[in-house]
Amino acid sequence: MRTQNMVPSITVDPSYFKQKTNDGVDPRHQHGINIVIEEIEGIIKVYKDGHVERPQIVPCVPTAVADPELGVTSRDTVIDKFTNIWARFYAPKLHGVNSNTNTMKKLPLLVYFHGGGFCVGSAAWSCYHAFLAKLAAKASCLIMSVNYRLAPEHPLPAAYEDGLRSLVWLKQQAFCERDGDDNNQWWSMQCDFSRIFLVGDSAGANIAHNVSTRLCSGTILSPLIIKGQILVQPFFGGEARTSSEKYYYMVQPRHSVLNLAASDTYWRLALPAGSSRDHPWCNPLANGSCSGVAMMVCISELDILKDRELEFCGAMGRAGKKVEYVVYKGVGHAFQVLDKSRLAQTRCHEMITHIKAFVDNN
């Protein structure tokens, strides 16, 4: 682990995206109006009239499905019924009573945002459910996995707003815990609200970083204290191509979940209409970051985002930010949730160990 102190693109106008009818079929498709304007094969298809199709590439699972040997309790909770934002909580076994204070041991809370290019993914996906249950158990932490709104129906900054909304909701739970409210959440008796970490992978890491940056603008979260960011393969971009973006197709694992064409499509669908990839939400180097919390960045050696993430770490270090990063050898983008090979499982174990160390030290 190491420590370190353009041409516009075309985006889809979000006004095109309409609600489906109750049966899930837009009536305009019954008349043959089905011109595809954006597509990532097998992942998402966007039609000119606003209809969006997302094949079920990963099954969604209920909270009860988890490795019983981990001893992790998981439940879903509504965060905002008006926007349909919810979160899946993970809590490891109770760790007993602190002999010095005669109180239940408090655990740090990781607020987690899933990946998927802002356009696909769910907190209920089986791959995230398995990974986060393991992370909660091995790292001895609580996890709040946020199911945010997706683009293109809800382009950025919707996901960032959902992240902030989740933290405001969390603040309310902290007050309930402090006041001994009987209606408080089942997990909060274990939660140390003064040790909150913003975490995510891929697009979720982008969300974690941008939410942290927005907190600099004056959002008051007391008694919550944000102690750090953990960015796993953060999905950043820019108009100028990096070497890893241009050449890593030659060494990427077969059937990699992120290639350059898919990356560009995700950004066209997620950014505000008319934006280029040098928009600061995409390219954090465009105007820097005001976040002062400690930061850990997890980078995959065979990821097209590798060089861009290393540039980000270097820039943050030069700006005086506390940044740690680690490069995982021989694996590609999202290996910790989508790659079942023996090497990927070894690297996943290493990543969980590194995350635990970062949380314990902050």
Phi, psi of 125 (to 5 degrees): -60, 140
* Mean pLDDT in residue range 264-291: 90
Residue 202 appears among annotated catalytic residues: yes
The residue annotated as part of the active site, out of 114, 154, 279, 333, is 333
Compare 289 and 165 and report the one with higher pLDDT.
Answer: 165
pLDDT given for residue 349 in this prediction? 98
Rounded to whole angstroms, how far apart are CA atoms 195 and 107?
A: 8
Question: Which of the four pLDDT bands, split at 50, 70 and 90, describes residue 92?
Answer: very high
Assess whether 333 carries a catalytic annotation: yes
| Torsion of the alpha carbons at 229, 235, 238 and 241, rounded to the nearest 10 | 120
Contact between 126 and 215 under an 8 Å Cβ cutoff? The reply is: no
Q: How far apart are CA 179 and CA 20, in angstroms?
A: 43
244 three-class SS: helix
> What residue spans of 19-125 are helical by DSSP H?
none
Confidence of residue 303 (pLDDT cuts 50, 70, 90): very high
Mean pLDDT score of the chain, rounded to an integer? Answer: 87
Judged by DSSP in three states, 16 sits in helix
Q: What is the pLDDT of residue 220?
A: 76
Instruction: Identify which of 209-218, 269-278, 279-288 has the greatest average pLDDT.
Output: 269-278
Query: Does pLDDT of 30 surpass 50?
Result: no
* pLDDT winner (highest mean) among 11-15, 187-191, 287-291, 334-338: 334-338
Angstrom distance (rounded) from CA 132 to CA 70: 11
Could you read off the pLDDT of 216-258 as tens digits, one per residue?
A: 766 679 899 999 999 999 999 999 999 999 887 666 666 678 9
State mean pLDDT over 37-54: 95
On the CB side of 245, CA atoms within 13 Å amount to 18
The span from the CA of 2 to the CA of 4, in Å, is 7
Q: 230 pairs with which residues across the strands? A: 199, 296
Tokens of 360: 């314990």
The full 3-state SS of 70-87, as one line of letters, equals: HCCEEEEEEEECCCCEEE
* Sign of the CA dihedral with 265 first, then 307, 302, and 334 last: negative
pTM of the model: 0.89
- State both tokens at 92: 């490891």
pLDDT at 311: 97
Q: How far apart are CA 138 and CA 147, in angstroms?
A: 23
pLDDT tens-place string over residues 165-190: 999 999 999 988 665 554 457 899 89
Q: Which of 9, 145, 202, 275 is catalytic?
A: 202
| Cβ-contact 114, 126 below 8 angstroms | no
Ranking 94-103, 124-133, 233-242 by mean pLDDT, the lowest is: 94-103
Nearest residue to 211 via CA among 173, 245, 164: 164
**% of the chain with per-residue pLDDT over 70:** 82
At 3, list the tokens: 């420590």
Among the listed ranges 91-95, 146-150, 230-234, which one has the minimum average pLDDT value?
91-95
Question: pLDDT > 90: what percent of the chain?
Answer: 73
Q: 361: number of CA atoms within 13 Å, CB side?
A: 14
Closest to 87 measured CA to CA, from 150, 14, 143, 156: 143
Q: Are 326 and 347 in contact (CB under 8 A)?
A: no
Catalytic residue among 26, 162, 278, 303: 303
334: left (phi over 0), alpha (psi -120 to 50) or beta: left
Q: How far apart are CA 117 and CA 204, in angstroms?
A: 8
pLDDT band of 13, cuts 50, 70, 90: very low
Rounded to the nearest 5 percent, the helix, strand and coil shares of the chain are: 35, 20, 45
Sign of CA dihedral 229, 234, 240, 245: positive
Instruction: Please give the Cα distance from 263 to 7 (Å, whole number).
Output: 16
pLDDT confidence bin for 93, thresholds 50/70/90: confident
Report the pLDDT value the prediction gives residue 103, as an integer from 0 to 100. 65
Cα dist. 131→127, 178, 324 in Å?
6, 31, 22
pLDDT of residue 96: 53
Q: Does the pLDDT at position 101 exceed 90?
A: no
Q: In the structure, what pLDDT confidence band is assigned to residue 291 with cuts at 50, 70 and 90?
A: low
